[in-house]
């Protein structure tokens, strides 16, 4: 507790998902601490919170154990989002990805255990399914990792499990599936596909789809992810903790269909966008062909009830990008 408020530490709180979590938990009356080193997150994401007396920004690196210890002081819950995302980034620089995603994760777990936080909820990843071809993905059937990034995210799950069994720290892992929505960074070499394509189309540039566009993804709107974090953090069902959950909508969309919808929604703002041609390039190393989550476990144990389908979320996201970044 900080003052009379329940305190939530959101690592990576200046990034896409973290910033949305900060905003949500502040709106719910929590004291929110954001720990971020701005490696891929942005100061402008947290600027609106700086005048809020229930918000504290700690600029620091999870690779530093002392920083993690300071950050968890008086904290009730940790929502650990800080990591270096992106499969291609991890292929280009596996050492740094491992340092942040594994050593940094271990620092945060260790600091959380020592501070006796009530629960440690962390961002896991659908990449943990690796080369498993079964669809839909169910939590206990995984394949071999296909990238250094996927290894780091799987190692997170193994460490979280051991910290629960060995030290009694309550943990919940959320395997995010291709999250998208407001405040996701559209720029840079490692930008996610939806914001990148939105920006290109708004500039009347042709998006380049890797491969023939028939690969599919369980694109998940940010508000469904926020709901999962809140449920995982507060669940009082003993069977629901110390495990991992698919965090998705539970439907899949091909890249081609995704771009068609993007063009349609953006055309409401600028009719010329409907005529922009799409280019196809080669497949990308480490990409799996299809991804679709079973969300039965989250529904059963956490009462998860995602409110936004892909299409509903995409409409919201497109409007946000048009209003904020055009
Ligand atoms: P993001 O890059 O926007 O956010 C990550 C944040 O972590 C950034 O603000 C960054 O500055 C911070 N960070 C990085 N290294 C740090 C360090 N050493 N110390 C402190 N802070 C550090 O990415 P995101 O999409 O918001 O992802 C959040 C989490 O969700 C990550 O753990 C990511 O691996 C996971 N995830 C995301 C997706 C997705 O579709 N976006 C899918 C699966 C898993």
Specify the pLDDT at position 148. 96
What pLDDT does 280 receive?
A: 96
| Residue 125 near ligand 1, beta carbon < 6 Å | yes
Q: What is the pTM of this model?
A: 0.97
Give residue-wise pLDDT tens across range 48-98. 999 999 999 999 999 999 999 999 999 999 999 999 999 999 999 999 999
**What are 108-125's pLDDT values in tens digits?**
999 999 999 999 999 999
| Residue 287: predicted pLDDT | 78
| Residue closest by Cα to atom 17 of ligand 1 | 61
Whether the CB of 135 sits within 6 Å of ligand 1? no
Sheet holding 31-36, edge to edge: 55-59, 31-36, 7-11, 77-80, 119-125, 171-176, 243-247
Can you give 190-248 as a three-state secondary structure string? Answer: CCCHHHHHHHHHHCCCCCEEECCCCCEECCEEHHHHHHHHHHHHHCCCHHHCCEEEEEC
At residue 286, does pLDDT exceed 80? no
Is the C-beta atom of 117 inside 6 A of ligand 1? no
Alpha carbon of 298 to ligand 1 centroid (Å)? 22
193 CB-near residues (< 8 Å, 6+ apart): 178, 255, 258
Q: pLDDT by residue (tens digit) across 236-264?
A: 999 999 999 999 999 999 999 999 999 99
Q: Is the CB of 86 under 6 A from ligand 1?
A: no
Q: Which of 9, 12, 102 to mutate to test the pocket of ligand 1 (most atoms within 8 A of CB)?
A: 12
For the CA of 149, the nearest atom of ligand 1: 34
Predicted local confidence at residue 147, as pLDDT: 92
Q: Please tell me the class of the 7-180+222-251+291-309 domain.
A: alpha beta
- What rounded mean pLDDT belongs to the chain? 96
Is the alpha carbon torsion for 267, 269, 272, 277 positive or negative? Answer: negative
Residue span(s) of the chain under CATH 3.40.50.720 come to 7-180+222-251+291-309
Q: What is the pLDDT of residues 128-167, one digit of tens each?
A: 999 999 999 999 999 999 999 999 999 999 999 999 999 9
> What is the three-class DSSP state of 9?
strand
- Between the CA of 224 and the centroid of ligand 1 the distance, in Å, is 17
Per-residue model confidence as pLDDT tens digits over 166-221 = 999 999 999 999 999 999 999 988 899 999 999 999 999 999 999 999 999 999 99
pLDDT at 188: 87
Domain with CATH 3.90.25.10 in the chain: 193-215+252-290+317-325
CATH assignment, 193-215+252-290+317-325: 3.90.25.10
Contact 74, 4 (CB under 8 A): no
Query: Per-residue pLDDT averaged across 100-104, rounded?
Result: 98
Specify the pLDDT at position 125. Answer: 97
Residues annotated as catalytic are 149
């Amino acid at each position: 507790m900080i003052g009379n408020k329940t305190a939530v530490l959101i690592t990576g709180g200046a990034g896409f998902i973290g910033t949305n979590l900060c905003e949500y938990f502040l709106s719910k009356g929590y004291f929110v601490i954001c720990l971020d080193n701005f490696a891929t997150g942005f100061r402008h994401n947290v600027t609106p919170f700086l005048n809020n007396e229930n918000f504290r920004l700690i600029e620091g690196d999870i690779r530093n154990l002392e920083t993690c210890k300071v950050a968890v002081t008086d904290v009730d819950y940790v929502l650990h989002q800080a990591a270096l995302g992106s499969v291609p980034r991890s292929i280009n620089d596996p050492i740094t990805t491992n340092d942040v995603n594994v050593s940094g994760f271990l620092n945060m777990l260790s600091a959380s255990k020592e501070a006796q936080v009530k629960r440690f909820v962390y961002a896991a990843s659908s990449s943990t399914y690796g080369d498993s071809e079964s669809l839909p993905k169910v939590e206990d059937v995984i394949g071999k990792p296909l990238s250094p990034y996927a290894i780091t995210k799987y190692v997170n799950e193994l460490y979280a499990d051991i910290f629960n069994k060995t030290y009694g720290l309550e943990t919940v892992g959320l395997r995010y599936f291709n999250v998208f929505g407001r405040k996701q960074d559209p720029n840079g070499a490692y930008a996610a596909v939806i914001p990148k394509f939105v920006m290109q189309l708004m500039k009347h540039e042709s998006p380049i789809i890797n491969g023939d566009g028939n690969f599919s993804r369980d694109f998940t709107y940010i508000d469904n992810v926020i709901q999962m974090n809140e449920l995982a953090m507060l669940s009082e069902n003993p069977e629901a903790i110390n495990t991992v959950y698919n965090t998705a909508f539970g439907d899949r969309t091909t890249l081609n269909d995704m771009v068609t919808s993007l063009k349609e929604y953006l055309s409401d703002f600028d009719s010329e966008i409907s005529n922009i041609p799409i280019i196809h390039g080669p497949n990308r190393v480490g990409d799996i062909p299809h991804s679709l989550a079973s969300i039965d476990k989250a529904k059963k144990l956490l009462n998860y009830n995602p409110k936004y389908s892909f299409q509903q979320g995409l409409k919201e996201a497109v409007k946000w990008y048009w209003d904020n970044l055009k």
